[in-house]
Amino acid sequence: MNRFGNKFRISIFGESHGPQIGIVVDGVPGGIPLSPDDFTEDMSRRRSGASGTTPRKEADVVTIVSGVFNGHTTGSPICMTFMNNNTRPSDYEKFESHPRPGHADFTATRRHNGYADLRGGGHHSGRVTIGLVAAGVIAKKIIEPVSVVAKISEIGGFNPWDDALAKAAEAGDSLGGIIECRASEMPVGIGEPFFDSLESVISHIVFAIPGIRGIEFGDGFAASKMKGSQHNDPIADETGKTLKNGSGGINGGISNGNELLFRVAVKPTSSISVPQHTFNFYSGEVEELRAEGRHDTCFALRVPVIVEAAVSIALADLLM
């Protein structure tokens, strides 16, 4: 199911080592200004190269294939593509016999009858999220004045974290992290309970991002340890503003006009140069595996802009 959304409808395609990654966005009204320059900032935030992220370099320049004319959306589907220039003919066949721990090698092989393209993770690669970020650029325009901001709040359990990152890189190991996301200027009334509660829709798309292990809204897991008299959050004025926002801006699955607030847990990068073990499906024995390739020490560092995109897409779908 490579599509999402009822009104702001996206369809994603492409593999890490195929010629292009892309996304089709359907449902965008005609008349929204859109140019390749609009993508520069978010692409740059997502791109590799910062400390702690993979040395694979891609220009990540968007090609707008359809749906934009004279600098404005036309109301027809917007297809956007990105070239994969910097692929390396890696020994991907190994991953079918020796599926990497923590990767989709084993599950994708089984899911697709043995025909999955495993090169660089194929369609399961984090590279596919470039399409999500591109769609997010459009979604952010649609949801204005709602403004979504996601930031790293913790890396490897530390805040700040520079030293931890350097040590992990040196050891050939990796780190996870926590991302906090807030959306301000939320109107009251967004969310479609029973089944499309605001938390349901946001968590649905956020868990599409590879490597997410958990999500919590407002007080989150801490709420389970509170008394009602501590967690309850008095309404303070006629706008619906509450005193503590412990529900993360949502009641009964519907936005209450306060800041939307949630956190996601990102696992440490699976590919590490520390030796690991895995089962060799050809020999039938457990063997040592040493991931070579180019990898992020902490791919969580690249996730905030992806989370922003995901939430903006979800909100665009609910707000339209």
Residue numbers 74-113 binding its own copies by CB under 8 A: 74-79, 81, 99, 101-104, 106-108, 110-113
Binding residue count for its own copies, defined by CB under 8 A:
138
Angstrom distances, CA of residue 227 to CA of 16, 222, 243, 262:
48, 10, 16, 21
301 binds its own copies (CB under 8 A): no
User: Of these, 255, 260, 301, 312, which contacts its own copies (CB under 8 A)?
Assistant: 255
Q: Residue 193 and residue 313: Cα distance in Å, rounded?
A: 18
Under rule CB under 8 A, residue 259 binds its own copies: no
Q: Which amino acid is at 81?
A: T
Q: Does 141 bind its own copies (CB under 8 A)?
A: no
Count of Cβ atoms closer than 10 Å to residue 92 Cβ: 18
What is d(CA 278, CA 290) in angstroms, rounded to the nearest whole number? 10
Under DSSP, is residue 252 helix (H, G, I), strand (E, B) or coil? coil
Q: Rounded to whole angstroms, what are the CA distances from 121 to 91, 102, 105, 149, 248?
A: 12, 11, 7, 28, 34
CB of 309 to its own copies, least distance (A): 13
* Least distance (Å) between residue 290 CB and its own copies: 12
Cβ-contact 129, 210 below 8 angstroms: yes
DSSP state of 248: T
Residues 205-224 that bind its own copies (CB under 8 A): 205, 207-208, 210, 212-221, 223-224
Peptide bond into 194 cis (omega under 30): yes
Residues with Cβ within 8 Å of 311's Cβ and at least 6 positions away in sequence, in order, are: 148, 150, 181, 183, 202, 205, 206, 260
Exposure of 276 by Cβ count < 10 A (0-12 exposed, 13-18 middle, 19+ buried)? middle
Q: Does 226 bind its own copies (CB under 8 A)?
A: yes
Does 196 participate in binding its own copies (rule CB under 8 A)?
yes
User: In terms of CB distance, is 80 or 137 closer to its own copies?
Assistant: 80
- Residue 56 contacts its own copies per CB under 8 A: no
12 vs 143, beta carbon nearer its own copies? 12
Q: Is the peptide bond before 160 cis (omega within 30 degrees of 0)?
A: yes
Confirm or reject binding of residue 73 to its own copies (CB under 8 A): yes
CB-nearer residue toward its own copies: 21 or 305? 21
Q: Rounded to an integer, what distance in angstroms lies between the CA atom of residue 13 and that of residue 2?
A: 7
Considering only residues 264 to 283 of the shown chain, the ones binding its own copies according to CB under 8 A are 265-272, 274, 276-279, 281
In the bound complex, what is the minimum distance in angstroms from residue 250's beta carbon to its own copies?
Answer: 8
Report in angstroms how near the CB of residue 75 gets to its own copies at its nearest. 3
The CA-atom distances, in angstroms, between 104 and each of 17, 157, 270 are 15, 25, 10
Contact between 19 and its own copies by CB under 8 A: the answer reads yes
Part of the chain binding its own copies (CB under 8 A), chosen from 38-46, 50-58, 134-142, 191-199: 191-199
Based on the shown chain and the rule CB under 8 A, indicate whether residue 11 belongs to the binding site for its own copies.
yes
178 binds its own copies (CB under 8 A): yes
By CB under 8 A, residue 20 contacts its own copies: yes
CB nearer to its own copies: give 145 or 228.
228
